[in-house]
Amino acid sequence: MPDRKTAPDIIDAVNMNLQLKPYEHFTLDNNVPVYSIDAGAQEVLLVEWVFYAGNWYEEKNIVAATTNFLLKNGTKQKKAFAINEHFEFYGAYLNRSCYNETAIITLHCLSKHLAELLPVVAELITESIFPEDEIAIYKQNQKQRLEVNLKKCDFIANRLIDEYVYGFHHPYGKYTSTLDYENINREELVAFYRKFYTEGKCMMFVAGKPPADLAAQLNRSFGTLPLNKAVLPQVQYNTEPSEKKKYNIINDADGVQGAIRIARPFPNRKHPDFSKAQVLNNIYGGFFGSRLMSNIREEKGYTYGIHSYMQNHIHESAWLISTEAGRDVCEATIEEVYKEMEILRNEPVEAEELDLVRNYMIGSLLADLDGPFHIIARWKNYILNGLTEEYFYNSIRTVQSITAEEIQELAKKYLNPEEFYELVVV
């Protein structure tokens, strides 16, 4: 019997020996790589098809996002209703998402139904037809949604701050208008679809309890498709950041709340400062116990929440502080944001606070490794960013060993108000 009179030893998360479960890797007959994690107790499965088909590769705004959204809306053999009904019949969920560099098709299903579902996913990749009536419905819905969102100060702030940091013509900085939806046409969607889906660059990620013949099933449905044969276009963009650093936008003259965004360009994950800066970011504003939250939410009561984070882009990134506050305290909130930067530049972090953040970060990492879906998501992020498992272990060592002096030097290097773009939308 367990001894219930003696409390178990308390172990700091920072002292735990975390291990990243390795993936299994194999290649289909057409050179499509598959990364698989076999774990978990339930007979469920996640399968993701990742295409290099994000807005980085489009020649006209919103073509990539529209193409991705309409993949489920009709093929040569099935209408949209029949496609959705097929996946629902087997208790499966099929979703699609479009990002800057990539676009993804995601399938959640019971492992035993995989064979019935894979051929229909293959059909979406090779036989989608983008019916005019579905395009018209999409345009109408998106324009209505955009008109509603344009009344929200946080929506406007999120659009504009990226434009200031990257430039409007950069994929990370451009945003949509109702005119973009009016100008989209079927021929452009079909051309993008054929180039970046049917004959595009693809990789697959699988997690859960896969069937024993997983490789054979995937090869049967996808190994003969014309994927990964053409060379991916080498597209380069130059950032065109705004020369002006401070902006005040009135979106609703009667609004009582303002959206605040403060951001600066920052290196991507391959830069040697990135992992160390993650520790500094958490101290500054990266979790509920951060300095920004303690000051601006808990002490001042200006906001329900304020956060800082690095954007997860492949090519370039930005360090962003984001919050909404009462219209009358927006300026005071910004002053406190810069005040906390100044303190981090001028004063070393105390050991107790640093230990708290270390344990928070390792504990969060432990939670992120709970279950096959989380594990494969981490591997996907590493693979898409050109990183290996060494990045995982190096990041842990950084959290465990970084000193208060190193954190202060990073603050002096990166937390300088004159380098940040400042935006208030009310």
φ, ψ for residue 199, nearest 5 deg: -120, 30
Q: Is beta strand 246-249 parallel, antiparallel or unpaired with respect to 93-98?
A: unpaired
pLDDT at 4: 83
pLDDT in tens, 223-245: 999 999 988 888 899 999 999 99
Of the two residues 8 and 64, the one the predictor is more confident about is 64
Domain chopping of the chain, boundaries:
24-222, 246-425
Task: Specify the pLDDT at position 10.
Answer: 67
- One fold for 24-222 and 246-425: yes
Fold type of domain 246-425? Cytochrome Bc1 Complex; Chain A, domain 1 (3.30.830)
Measure the N-to-C terminal CA separation of the chain; round to a whole number of Å. 62
pLDDT value of residue 241: 94
262 CA to centre of own chain: 19
What would the pLDDT profile of 130-188 be if each residue is shown by its tens digit?
A: 999 999 999 999 999 999 999 999 999 999 999 999 999 999 999 999 999 999 999 99
CB 260 within 8 A of CB 325: yes
Angle between helices 351-368 and 274-281 (to 10 degrees): 110
Mean pLDDT, residues 263-289 taken together: 96
Bridge-based pairing of strands 317-326 and 306-310 is: antiparallel
Question: Rounded to whole angstroms, how far apart are CA atoms 198 and 200?
Answer: 6
Taking alpha carbons only, the member of 111, 239, 103 closest to residue 168 is: 239
Is the confidence at residue 286, as pLDDT, over 80?
Answer: yes
* 347-391 tens-digit pLDDT: 999 999 999 999 999 999 988 888 999 999 999 999 999 999 999
Angle between helices 132-149 and 186-193 (to 10 degrees): 100
Residue that has been written with the tokens 């101290």 in this structure: 283
Q: What is the pTM of this model?
A: 0.92
Q: Which residues contact 140 (CB under 8 A, 6 or more apart)?
A: none
At residue 359, the pLDDT reads 94
pLDDT for 1:
67
24-222 has which fold?
Cytochrome Bc1 Complex; Chain A, domain 1 (3.30.830)
